[in-house]
Amino acid sequence: MQFGGVQKTSFIDYPGEISAVLFTQGCNYSCAYCHNADLIAFKESADESERVIADLLTRKKNVDAVTITGGEPTVQRDLPQFMKRLKDEGFKVKLDTNGSNPDSVKMILSKGLADYMAMDAKTSLKRYPELAFTGVSERVQATSRIIMDSGVDYEFRTTAFPPLVGESEMEDMAQWLSGAENYFLQQFNPGHTNHPSAKLIAPYSVKTLSRLLDIIRPRVKNASLRGVDVPTPVEKCSC
């Protein structure tokens, strides 16, 4: 495993848990708004798995959950073995993914290696190739279905980057993710971006975010805003 950083303690990355956060190095997308742009490049380095696990074990009294994020964790070939090591040591494990590797996610879930899954839904399925590669739409659709059918706790989340997320994209995602358990619409932060042009994009107002969230709310069980400075209670739909 190649890591680009470790956050020793987080109260927000793993719902209901205090977790360490491991940032893997390398991503197969190139989102203009990415706030972890330093993690996109693939770099050759020695396997750091055992060093990272040894460090986690020294803090196990205080942190018994681990969030693996990126970059994109599923591009690391030894991710399943690494997650098994964490599970064998008694950690709860949350995996963040951009959804591009359905086979990897399927294998991880079938072996019981993840306790919580968080998958990005970045835009409408038809616009996905703008972010990544031809064929990515089918892959993210397959991954979302695998997660929803897994029985593992999960969430989908969308960063509301205005050029990629408007009413029509929300309508597409509402169909795509229909029946999902938890959905978050996250505020876009122009402070840290992958592409300089993204810094010039103004984030949506909370009012607009709420209006966009209302498009998907009837199709999912729990829908909330995230990353905005107002109280955003989780609401359940009546269907």
Contacts to ligand SF4 by CB under 6 A: 27, 29-31, 34, 36, 39-40, 70-72, 98
Q: Which residue is listed with tokens 């729990």?
A: 222
User: CB 143 → ligand SF4: shortest distance, Å?
Assistant: 13
Helix (H, G, I), strand (E, B) or coil at 237: coil
What is the SS3 assignment for 128? helix
Which residues does 128 contact at the CB level (< 8 Å), separation at least 6?
122, 136, 137, 140
Collapsing DSSP states into helix, strand and coil, what is residue 168?
A: helix
Q: Which residues, 6+ apart, have CB-to-CB distance to 71 below 8 Å?
A: 4, 23, 24, 25, 26, 27, 36, 39, 40
Using alpha carbons, list the distances in angstroms from residue 11 to 7, 53, 65, 233: 11, 20, 11, 18
Give the separation between CA 220 and CA 178, rounded to whole angstroms: 6
Distance CA 156, CA 102 (A): 15
Retrieve residue 17's tokens.
Answer: 């848990």
DSSP state of 217: G
* Strand, helix or coil for residue 61: coil
Kindly state the tokens that stand for 81: 């073995």
